[in-house]
Structure 1
């Protein structure tokens, strides 16, 4: 298949929607109080995590993500995905930019040039470094369904797909999904395997890996808590924050639902404080380059 055909197919599937079509218009009820007993901090489960390089993003209008930014100079962001290994199975977190774009050596322009996407190495090739096949992954969870997080979701056809109900409802609403920047081609085949959840959820039942509802960036955005026995507990941020600077300023992107985002900040802050977890920000380039990537496992 030619590059031109690939791009036409992706564009026709609304893979690259207009800027206004990522705005979260959904207002959900305030989250329930956090049940801290769901979160293990003992480090007594043999859990490990490996970081996958899922693409690069040049944000040419960073004030879209951080209205408090002092200027609108382009910034480099990365796109991180993660494999979590647990004695009961493996969970893949976020699915990055579609592997097909690795053939587009100079990357692609997105949203009228507001972003530049590129893929330097495929998700599949990095799983091979870990001796893992996508078909062997038991669980898949995406922080949300924006196209830079869902691009390779379809590869995990045998996985149980853990998704928050507000995200699921929009994802399969034929009138609404495009207005939220979702691309059904990425995830429609996973619908039979979906486990729809509401709120926080222990993936393996022991508190070592917990999905945390953190609505605001999208209707059913979620983050992921992982209790690593040696490194210590961490939370994978999804798009709760896009950079360390955004976190420092508590910046809310212009397309977020503002009140929900503030509640999500507060909720995650409470969990970070109570558990002593470290927040890993998956789009932050500085943090990404500081860390080791697959085939390395953090334990």
Structure 2
């Protein structure tokens, strides 16, 4: 499939670590109680008109020094197998080469390496920004030390859906619920067609299909509404959804240093 928006050159899927939980029912209340689960954590490097955009930053590289990982938040153990820095080196990209950064939300497995990208323009959903830098970020499970340096980045605050480059190639889709300012990203790939990077709208395809809402989400009703919004968008755009934490799906996709067009 060739898309009419041809300003995206390629996308790299980066390994942002693993998240392990002992009871996967935190993502599906009443379902899979007591069943352990391992979740993939990906970040995505997108080449647009010769420039780089990074979507999410994975789990902090420092955890690579702890082979068993560490419980970081919400009882979730973060594990890093390949650092973000080493993967960028393998591609031939320096952290300072990243011109734009955007994050789905501020949980540790999505903002762990924000401190590496101090020269990037940050396109931030206002609701998420205010929660991150508000008086009580801990109540959302946030660890401000992971993203505190983002205060010094050039910040573009947006409200709701937003066309990042103004050409329809990359669109921030406001999908609140998991957190107050949670977003997804719609990317128009030249050959693969539209891909929705869903963030944590749902943690796997089964939970999305059954509209299961994690127990620790910030807004249960908004989560359900965002799932419906994503479903409608997928149909309208004839898009494919890449579910960030769906390990089975992630294993079918080509990861860096390979790329997808």
Same fold, TM-score > 0.5, yes or no: yes
1:82-101 mapped onto 2 (5 Å cutoff): 82-87=44-49, 89-101=51-63
Query: Which structure ranks higher in relative contact order (CA pairs < 8 Å, sequence separation ≥ 6)?
Result: 1
Q: Is 2:250 the partner of 1:298?
A: no
Q: Look up the SS of the partner of 1:269 in the other structure.
A: helix
Q: Is 2:17 the partner of 1:55?
A: yes
Distance 1:111 1:212, change over 3 A: closer
Deviation at 1:269, TM superposition (A): 1.3
Query: 1 CA distance for matches of 2:214 and 2:49?
Result: 37
> 2:141 aligned to 181, 205, 228, which one?
181
> 2:107 aligned to 143, 146, 158, which one?
146
Residue matched to 2:77: 116
- Structure 2 length normalisation: TM-score? 0.94
Deviation at 1:129, TM superposition (A): 1.4
Structure 2 unaligned spans of 5+: none
Structure 1 unaligned spans of 5+: 1-39
Deviations 1:148-172 (A, max 9, x none): 1111011110001111111111111
Query: 2 CA distance for matches of 1:158 and 1:111?
Result: 28
* Contact persistence 1:43–1:230 (CA under 8 A): no
Size of the aligned set, in residue pairs, is 258
Residue matched to 2:204: 243
Residue matched to 1:45: 7
* RMSD of aligned alpha carbons: 1.6
* Contact persistence 1:68–1:251 (CA under 8 A): no
Deviation at 1:98, TM superposition (A): 0.5
Deviation at 1:46, TM superposition (A): 3.6
Deviation at 1:111, TM superposition (A): 4.8
Deviations 1:68-108 (A, max 9, x none): 42432101111101101100521101111100000011212
Deviation at 1:291, TM superposition (A): 1.0
The structure whose Rg is larger is: 1
> 1:273 aligned to 226, 235, 244, which one?
235
Query: 2 CA distance for matches of 1:70 and 1:184?
Result: 31
1:1-299 mapped onto 2 (5 Å cutoff): 42-87=4-49, 89-111=51-73, 114-173=75-134, 175-192=135-152, 193-256=154-217, 257-299=219-261
Distance 1:188 1:115, change over 3 A: closer
Runs of 4+ displaced beyond 4 Å: none
Residue matched to 1:32: none
- Structure 1 length normalisation: TM-score? 0.83
Deviation at 1:41, TM superposition (A): 5.2
Deviation at 1:284, TM superposition (A): 0.9
Deviation at 1:115, TM superposition (A): 2.6
